[in-house]
Structure 1
Amino acid sequence: MSQAPFDLVASPPLLRRAHPIAGALAIATVATFWVSTVAVELNGTHADIARVKGAILWGMLVLIPAIALAGASGFRLGRCSLNPLAMAKQRRMPIIALNGLLVLVPSAVFLAARSASGQFDDTFFAVQAVELIAGALNIALMALSARDGFRLAGRLPR
C-alpha cells in the first residue's frame, strides 16, 4: 500500500516547510487582529469597531488552522529533541493554544456580538482590554518561538 503524497507524518521535508509558513501566518494574523483593534478603538466609530470585530471572527478561519498546523508540525519535528531551543518551543505551544482557546476566541465572539448590537459599555471595554493583553502575550510567545526556530534552522546565531 503506497502512502499519500501529502502524508505529513512521512514527509519531514514538507513538515520543515509547512511549520514556518503556518507559524508566520499565525503570528501575522494575530498581529493584524491586534493592530486593527487598537487602530479602530483609537480612531473609529462604533460601526467601524463592529466591522473590525466581525472581520476578526472571519479571520479565525485562517488563524485556527494556522496555529493547529504550526503546533502539530512543530510537535512532530521536535518530538524527540533534547535541544533546549526545541524544548522551549514545546513549552510555549500549550500556553499559546490555551490562551487562544480559553481567552482570545471567546473574547472575539463576545466582542463581535456586543459591538454588533451596539453595546459599548464597561464590560465591552474590560473584555477588550483582556483580549489585547492576551493577544500581546500570544504575539510575544509566537515571536520567541519563531526566533528559536530560526536559530534551530541555522538562520540566526544561537
Structure 2
Amino acid sequence: MLSRLHRFAALVATLCIALFFTSTLVVELVGTTESIVRIKSLILSPGLWILTPAIAVTGITGAIMGQHRQNTFVVRKKKRMPFIALNGVVILIPAAYFLHHWASLGEFKATFYLVQGIELLAGAINLTLMTLNIRDGSKLHAKASKRTI
C-alpha cells in the first residue's frame, strides 16, 4: 500500500512539474499577455496546492520505505531528494509567487524574465532528477518482483 501511494504521489508531482514547465514555455513563446497571466495564476493555485502535498507524500513515503535499505537504486534516490526539495522550496515556490504577482500587475520587465529563466532551469533540473528517481524506482520494483516469483 505504501509503495502504491509513493508511486502515485511521485507521478503526480512529476506530471505537475512537467505541466508547469511545458505550459510556461508554450505561453512565453506563442501566448498573449493574458495567457501568461492566466498560466502564472493556475501554477500558483491550484498548481502548488497539488504539487506541494504530492512532493511531501513522495518524500515521506520514500523515506519510510528506504529507511533501512542500502540498495544502489535507493541510495541514488536518497541523494537526489535533498536537491529536489531544496530546489522546490528555495527557487520554484518563491518564483511562482513572484512571477504570478508581477504578471498580474503587467510588470514584464527584465526581472520577470530573469526569474522566469531561473524557474525554468530549476524546473528542468527537478524534472530530470524526478524522472531519474522514477526510473530507479521502477528498476527497484522490478527487482523486488523477480524475488517474489
Smaller-chain TM-score range? over 0.9
- Residue 38 (structure 1) aligned to one of 21, 25, 44: 25
- Residue 126 (structure 1) aligned to one of 99, 110, 114: 114
**Match status 1:111 vs 2:99:** yes
Runs of 4+ aligned residues of structure 1 deviating over 3 Å after TM superposition are none
- Residue 49 (structure 1) aligned to one of 20, 33, 36: 36
- Equivalent residue number for residue 142 of structure 2: 154
> How many angstroms apart in 2 are the aligned matches of 1:85 and 1:68?
20
Deviation for aligned residue 1:45: 1.0
> How many angstroms apart in 1 are the aligned matches of 2:133 and 2:122?
16
> How many angstroms apart in 1 are the aligned matches of 2:15 and 2:28?
20
Please give the per-residue CA displacement for 1:25-76, whole angstroms capped at 9, x wherever unaligned: 0000000000000000001111110100000001000000000000000000
TM-score, normalised via structure 1 length: 0.89
**Match status 1:137 vs 2:125:** yes
Q: Secondary structure at the match of 2:142?
A: coil
- Residue 69 (structure 1) aligned to one of 57, 74, 88: 57
Q: Secondary structure at the match of 2:124?
A: helix
Structure 2, unmatched stretches of 5+, are 144-149
Root mean square deviation, CA, Å: 0.7
- Equivalent residue number for residue 12 of structure 2: 25
Q: Comparing both structures, which one devotes a greater share of its residues to helix?
A: 2
> How many angstroms apart in 2 are the aligned matches of 1:80 and 1:46?
50
> How many angstroms apart in 1 are the aligned matches of 2:60 and 2:35?
36
> How many angstroms apart in 2 are the aligned matches of 1:82 and 1:44?
47
Q: What count of residue pairs does the alignment treat as equivalent?
A: 142
Give identity over the alignment, percent.
44
> How many angstroms apart in 2 are the aligned matches of 1:16 and 1:35?
28
Structure 1, unmatched stretches of 5+, are 1-13
> How many angstroms apart in 1 are the aligned matches of 2:120 and 2:22?
9
TM-score, normalised via structure 2 length: 0.94
- Residue 99 (structure 1) aligned to one of 81, 87, 101: 87
Deviation for aligned residue 1:118: 0.2
